[in-house]
Amino acid sequence: MSADTLHPPPGARPDWTIDQGWAGYTAAEHQLWVTLYERQTALLPGRACDPFLRGLDALDLHRAGIPDFARINEELRRLTGWEVVAVPGLVPETAFFEHLANRRFPAGQFIRRPDQLDYLEEPDIFHDVFGHVPMLTDPTFADYMQAYGEGGLRALDLGQLHNLARLYWYTVEFGLLQTPQGLRIYGAGIVSSHAETIFALDDPSPNRLGFDLARVMRTPYRIDDFQQVYFVIPSLQALLDATLADFGALYARLEGQRDIPIEAVLPSDQVFTRGTQAYAKAAPGKG
């Protein structure tokens, strides 16, 4: 974050929140939401995990257009005490973790342009609300996200943000869940992306490895292309339990250890898929 992002932009409150201004969305913006929503929900049965699909229904992120946060927050608060707050875009880590630690999910207020249907740099309202918010209706995941926020504030104090960012990336954004029916998606970055929803589960290219906290914190990630590795948790409870670890001791252990190459499979890894990395080899150098 550049220096000038320490101060919220004009119109934003000190905690970086803004009014959603739901009445201000245009018909074209609502229609874009519907297009994105219908394309994704046609794909997700058998791919998104049950807690995600249940959350989508519970919040009635309906097909009619961009959800009004005031409406979905009534149900979300009732279910897990979380609420969605509107922000202009990415906010500084301190504000971000502070919101999560208080069960407030900061969601971009804007929606992408039609020519950004498949990819955009900054999280927009579709990535944030369609991708992240349904999982917040699950009590265990809701607890994990609050614990993550609290851990993030501590990590900032300890200068360990890079480790926490990897944990967020390989769970909240790109995590897979093991179920009796096979691997299912819970990561927002996957579930809000049409192409990556297919790639993450079906493509032979990426590794799919058992989740391990230290392993994830030693593994770099891709910021603007499909992941080369996805980590699989056995349950949401196991993910929550991982936050109970003594992160101070973990950080100390990680200090002296080098990153693990992103395409590597270690002898200690639980291997669900040993990927070909064909996609990454064919699309080198995209970030």
Question: Which does residue 141 bind out of ligand HBI, Fe ion, none, counting CB within 5 to 8 angstroms by kind?
Answer: none
Q: Least separation, in Å, of the C-beta of 285 and ligand HBI?
A: 23
Q: 92-131: which residues touch ligand HBI (CB under 6 A)?
A: 93, 96, 106, 123
Q: Using N-to-C axis directions, what is the helix angle for 93-101 and 139-158, rounded to 10°?
A: 140
* Contact string 28-67 vs ligand HBI (x = CB under 6 A): ----------------------------------------
Q: From CA 137, how far away is CA 131, in angstroms rounded?
A: 12
Q: What are phi and psi of 87, to 5 degrees?
A: -130, 160
**Of 132 and 215, which has the nearer Cβ to Fe ion?**
132
User: Which helix H or strand E contains 276, and what residues bound it?
Assistant: none
Residue 226: how many CB atoms within 10 A of its CB? 21
**Of 186 and 205, which has the nearer Cβ to ligand HBI?**
186
Question: Which does residue 168 bind out of Fe ion, ligand HBI, none, counting CB within 5 to 8 angstroms by kind?
Answer: ligand HBI
User: Which helix H or strand E contains 76, and what residues bound it?
Assistant: helix 69-80
Instruction: Select the residue interacting with ligand HBI from 69, 126, 168, 230 (CB under 6 A).
Output: 168
Asked if 91 interacts with ligand HBI (CB under 6 A), we say: yes
- Over the Cα atoms of the chain, what is R_g? 18
Q: From CA 249, how far away is CA 184, in angstroms rounded?
A: 31
**Of 192 and 273, which has the nearer Cβ to Fe ion?**
192
Q: 145-164: which residues touch ligand HBI (CB under 6 A)?
A: 164
Q: Least separation, in Å, of the C-beta of 132 and ligand HBI?
A: 8
3-state secondary structure 88-132: CCCCCHHHHHHHHHCCEEEEECCCCCHHHCCCCCCCCHHHHHHHH
Stretch of 7-15, 66-74, 92-100, 115-123 contacting Fe ion, by CB under 5 A:
115-123
**Of 36 and 86, which has the nearer Cβ to ligand HBI?**
86
Residue 85, beta-bridge partner list = 106
What is the SS3 assignment for 177? strand
Q: What are phi and psi of 138, to 5 degrees?
A: -90, 120
**Of 99 and 275, which has the nearer Cβ to Fe ion?**
99
Stretch of 45-53, 91-99, 202-210, 259-267 contacting ligand HBI, by CB under 6 A:
91-99
CB 49 within 8 A of CB 186: yes
In the complex, which residues of this chain contact Fe ion (CB under 5 A)? Answer: 123, 188
In the complex, which residues of this chain contact ligand HBI (CB under 6 A)? Answer: 87, 90-91, 93, 96, 106, 123, 164-165, 168
